[in-house]
Amino acid sequence: MPSPPTAPPRNSPMAPPRSFLWSRRVFLTLLAGFVLVPVYVMVSSSLKPLADVTGRFRWLPSELTVRPYIDIWSTVPLARYFVNSVVVAGAATVCSVVIAVFAAYAVSRHEFRGKRVFTVTVLSTQMLPGILFLLPLFLIYVNIGNATGVALFGSRGGLILTYLTFSLPFSIWMLIGYFDSVPRDLDEAALVDGCGPLGALFRIVVPAAIPGIVAVAVYAFMTAWGEVLFASVMTNDTTRTLAVGLQGYSTLYDVYWNQIMAASLVVSVPVVAGFLLMQRYLVAGLTAGAVK
Amino acid sequence: MRRIRAAAVGAVTLSLALAATACGGGSSTGGGSNDSPKTLTYWASNQGASVAVDKKVLQPELDKFEQQTGIKVKLEVVPWSDLLNRILTATTSGQGPDVLNIGNTWSASLQATGGLLPWDERNFAKIGGKDRFAATALGSTGAPGKDPAAVPLYSMAYALYYNKRIFADAGIAKPPATWDELVADAKKIKARGTSPLGAEGANLSENIHHVFVFAKQHGADFFTADGKPDFTDPKVVAAVKRYVDLMAKDKAIPAGDAEYAQNQSVSDFAKGRQAMLLWQSVAANLKSQGMSEDAYGIAPVPVISGKPGGGTQVNSAVMGINIAVFKNTHNLDGATKFVKFMTSDTEQKILNTAYSSIPPVTSAQSDPAFAAPATAVLKNTLATSAAALPQVPSESQFETAVGTAVKELFADAAAGRAVTTDDVRAKLEKAQQQMPAA
Amino acid sequence: MTTTALKEPARETSPGAAREPRRRTGRIRRLTLPYLLLLPALLLELLVHLVPMAIGIVMSFKQLTQFYIRDWGTAPWSGLDNYRVSVDFDAPVGKALLQSFGTTVGFTLLSVGLCWLVGTAAAVFMQDTFRGRGLLRALFLVPYALPVYAAVITWVFMFQHDNGLVNHVLHDQLHLTDKPSFWLIGDNSFYALLTVSVWKGWPFAFLIVTAGLQNIPRELYEAAALDGAGMWQRIRRITLPSLRPVNQVLVLVLFLWTFNDFNTPYVLFGKAAPEAADLISVHIYQSSFVTWNFGTGSAMSVLLLLFLLVVTGGYLLLTSRGRRAADA
């Protein structure tokens, strides 16, 4: 069970020695620098005029301008790409989590034949090089489209379907660990009380596993949010996602670095913010999930 | 248990069915149909400053077409980074646009896939006949002896763009006509602290266009007459070395350009940081970057000696965009009508003006819009001293293999390593061995 | 859609309970339920991963070049030719593949090692509360939360030869190099790739290890402290061994992700990566999409898959045996 980290009382034998404090200070400062420099470059470049970012690098803008933040919307249909990304990543996340919850519950709480085969197979799909199944998958989608009239290729639906399976293996595997750590007595009690197995899942196991589910959801979202290869082939102008659409700022004529940075920031801020809001759950969720 | 078995059987059947249908590949049903006569999908290549600019240029024309024919054209401007992949996946699956733009150098490669409608006499007759188009442009529409896979839409040629002020400051009276003159001028320019010549060392296509011309000037070809790769011919090696030496030995191209792949050299030129640029039809681009038309001059690309012309005096590849009809189109008649519309004199004038290219339709070329001195150089080059890149099925592999070899040679040169004839030959040999054994 | 498909059969069984003996229904339900719960996951994996993989394997036995892609049912079978070309290490294709493979292995080991090291160090240092810890932790998660394209393109911007921050600092300001270096082409590109990969990857290790640390009972530390073990000794004797199971999983996942990573090198270098940083994923992409030879590309992917299967299997076998031995 996760226990919140607490500081040892001062002057106890647990108190860290000087050498530890100093190494910590040095290491964390360096690391923070390493993490921060690109972030600073992003922020400062997004406020520079184009001449600043296409000439020699300078730490400070020659003049501050918000022009890039205005231009990004007209150079590339950013708003549309943003909506596409939110819809695709959001739907993929929701589906992936729901399906993973069911599968993980089955593995965690039931004995059945083929359990090992299932877990091994699902995990092994993590090893597939995307290139191997990009073209076949495309063919399958087109053929499903021809046979049933459900347009998967070029649509958001096809992309959602693809991304949700990308995150599924790792999600299932993390949730199995987390469900295992929810005491069985709890859902057995619920079963005795007359809940069905699904009732027990939704009333007992899922609420107890919320942090783990949040962690899985964040992971699924990030997977779908950043994918480039499949998105570049499987989308068209109306369904293009951000990961591909941001490339539109390096045009045939010029690379609008300041706009790239501004657009990157605009699309990152909601994600980073959401991510940071969730991080409390995330750390707790991973504790019991991955770490079994 | 029954239900599980049913589910299992269902799953297996489904997957087998999927596998079977997928193994069938794209539908191979012949030459298109006219199932949806009222709509067309058109994939345009990105010709203007951005996708948004292209839409602004093309949409009014498409609206005109709809007024004339009642056919609605759905436009998608596909960025260059995605275009070939999109065409490939469309070809594989049979699901694609009705009409599309292709880079004219891809013509033979795409022709070999059989995914594009062949333009035989009958089809050409529907758009006004083959002889409406310039012969050089038609030379880049597919393998010789086969019906063209596409129709020329925009033509472009390389030229030497030079900054008038930098030239005057360095005391150079006229643009260089030979490579020796260019190298000598570069020294003068460099002595004054300006970078002489731009290049896109990490851009595979740019590399190919230049080494192709150098090979021609050395009297060599990358492919034998029967279409076999011949990259290690001593003359080819010398030609490639000559191009790389512009950076490695002559220092005319600054080392930094070795990593350029996104047209940064155009930007350098437009901002006055660089004296010369070898580029194709770049006027509209320079204008959009704020360089006024008086600030630069335009001259033919240098040759080894003498004047540009045929044979070893070639000084540009025939560049341009072709328009093609996808064989699996659901609106064959409409697609043909659309190609006719796009290659009509009126549209040719409008579109080629917007993109500062040359109309491949001869009757449109005579329009005064294309008589300005800058355009005259390009027009002249196309007519007299441009040669088509190899029209072989493996052209696209050639671009990748040799383009990468040149990129690596530039990287070596930029790192300050000497680039010897042996180095060049070794890289080209490796490139040749990566070509499909055809 | 999948949720309803899943719930309905479960509901259907309820009325049956009235007709049939209770015990029997319960048994059937116990037997079928897990499969029903797995069904959506299974179907999707089948659709998006397993069937395409099977098709991919079929493709690898075909001569699937540009002449046949339009209707690749007609592509001639080529037997093992594609594999032979891929592993003929004397010929350029095989040699390039081997070289790319070597680069990828080296890159992956270094990247995973560094991610793990930095992540673990940061997690251990941040175990105890101190002022600004929350802020720092939030900051550390930023690289992981940024969309891949945004993060990598920022690094491209910084790695430029003429105008990049890296050369500005190393050359112009610190004078460490006698001339600006190239990072996106040539030999240095390997380090550029490694830097970006570690920058993006270490927060994940940090996250997982942070979580793992919370599972170590405080009593262990206290007992060790009473025995006179200093901070560093406690880290060595308690923290690191307790992280073993976490590390087992973390290292494997990082390895697989890094090995198969396509997005980072693709955004960093484009379609033709420099030789020094020619990762296998981009290499295979180039061998199939750029040169239009999907048969050979698929054969290479299958070889890669086999390699990863063997490594993962071996790794799991080895680590779990090691773990059992340690437990005993």
Where do the structural domains in chain B lie, given as residue ranges? 39-155+319-386, 158-317+394-433
Mean pLDDT of chain A: 82
- Residues 112-141 on C with a CB inside 8 Å of B are none
Q: pLDDT grade, residue C13 (50/70/90)?
A: very low
Residue numbers in C near B3 (CB within 8 A): 9, 32, 36
Whether pLDDT at C7 is above 50 = no
Whether pLDDT at C175 is above 50 = yes
- What is the Cα–Cα distance from C325 to C328, expressed in whole angstroms? 5
Quote the domain boundaries for residue C7. 2-59
Whether pLDDT at B438 is above 60 = no
pLDDT at C2: 35
Q: Which two tokens stand for residue B431?
A: 């490139």
Decide which of C17, C43, C59 is a domain's last residue. C59
Closest residue of chain A to B83, computed from CA coordinates: A233
| Site from C25, C27, C71 to mutate, B interface, most B CB atoms within 10 angstroms | C71
pLDDT at B180: 95
Please report, in angstroms and rounded to a whole number, the separation of the first and last CA atoms in chain C. 48
Q: pLDDT grade, residue A202 (50/70/90)?
A: confident
Q: Which two tokens stand for residue C250?
A: 């973390």
A133 close to A65: Cβ distance less than 8 angstroms: no
Mean pLDDT of B181-207: 93
| In a shared domain, residues C175 and C133 | yes
pLDDT at B124: 94
pLDDT tens digits for range A117-165:
888 777 778 777 777 788 788 888 888 887 777 777 778 888 999 998 8
User: How far is the alpha carbon of A163 from chain C, nearest alpha carbon, in Å?
Assistant: 9
Residue numbers in B near C9 (CB within 8 A): 3
pLDDT tens digits for range A251-287:
666 778 888 899 988 888 888 888 777 777 766 655 5
pLDDT at A286: 58
Are C41 and A112 inside 8 Å of each other by CB? no
User: How far is the alpha carbon of A127 from chain C, nearest alpha carbon, in Å?
Assistant: 6
Q: Does C218 touch chain A (CB under 8 A)?
A: yes
Please check whether the two domains, B39-155+319-386 and B158-317+394-433, share a CATH topology: yes
For residues B26 and C142, which has the higher predicted lDDT (pLDDT)?
C142
Q: C touches which chains (3+ CB pairs under 8 A)? A: A, B
Q: What is the DSSP string of C276-319?
A: GG--HHHHHHIIIIITT-HHHHHHHHHHHHHHHHHHHHHHHHHH
pLDDT tens digits for range B86-107:
898 888 888 889 999 999 999 9
- What is the Cα–Cα distance from A278 to A273, expressed in whole angstroms? 9
Q: Which of B135-139, B255-259, C45-49 has the lowest mean pLDDT?
A: C45-49
Decide which of C17, C42, C59 is a domain's last residue. C59
- What is the Cα–Cα distance from C192 to C274, expressed in whole angstroms? 11
Q: How far is CA C150 from CA A213, A247, B203, B370, in A?
A: 27, 10, 22, 42
pLDDT at A14: 67
- What is the Cα–Cα distance from C122 to C244, expressed in whole angstroms? 17
| Nearest by CB: A143 against B21, B81, B85 | B21
| Site from A18, A121, A131, A135 to mutate, C interface, most C CB atoms within 10 angstroms | A131
Where do the structural domains in chain A lie, given as residue ranges? 73-289
Q: Does A22 touch chain C (CB under 8 A)?
A: no
Q: pLDDT grade, residue C24 (50/70/90)?
A: low
- What is the Cα–Cα distance from B409 to B239, expressed in whole angstroms? 13
- Residues 105-124 on C with a CB inside 8 Å of A are 118, 121-122
What number of other Cβ atoms are within 10 A of residue B424's Cβ? 26
Mean pLDDT of C74-89: 84
Are C260 and A35 inside 8 Å of each other by CB? no
Domain-located, residue C79: no
User: How far is the alpha carbon of C19 from chain B, nearest alpha carbon, in Å?
Assistant: 18
Whether pLDDT at C324 is above 80 = no
Nearest Cα to A240, choosing from A72, A74, A71, A76?
A76
For residues B73 and C249, which has the higher predicted lDDT (pLDDT)?
B73
Q: What's the CATH number of domain B158-317+394-433, 3.90.1150.200, 3.40.50.920, 3.40.309.10, 3.40.190.10?
A: 3.40.190.10
pLDDT at C27: 65
pLDDT at A4: 44
For residues B294 and A219, which has the higher predicted lDDT (pLDDT)?
B294
Top-level CATH class of A73-289?
A: mainly alpha
Mean pLDDT of C217-226: 84
**Side-chain half-sphere of B109: how many Cα atoms within 13 Å?**
24
Highest mean pLDDT (candidates A7-11, A174-178, B139-143, C77-81):
B139-143
What number of other Cβ atoms are within 10 A of residue A74's Cβ? 11
Mean pLDDT of chain C: 83
Number of domains in chain C: 2
Q: pLDDT grade, residue B244 (50/70/90)?
A: very high
For residues A121 and C143, which has the higher predicted lDDT (pLDDT)?
C143
Residue showing tokens 């930023």: C142
Q: How far is CA B215 from CA B235, B236, B313, in A?
A: 7, 5, 11
pLDDT tens digits for range A221-254:
888 888 888 888 888 888 888 888 888 887 666 7
Top-level CATH class of B39-155+319-386?
A: alpha beta
What number of other Cβ atoms are within 10 A of residue B55's Cβ? 17
Domain-located, residue C191: yes
pTM of the model: 0.86
Length of chain C: 328
pLDDT tens digits for range A23-44:
999 999 999 999 999 999 999 9
Long-range CB contact pairs, B21-24, < 8 A, 24+: B21/A140, B21/A143, B21/A147, B22/A136, B22/A139, B22/A140, B22/A143, B22/C51, B22/C55, B23/C55, B23/C58, B23/C72, B23/C73, B24/A143, B24/C73
Q: pLDDT grade, residue C325 (50/70/90)?
A: low
| Nearest by CB: C45 against A112, A122, A285 | A122
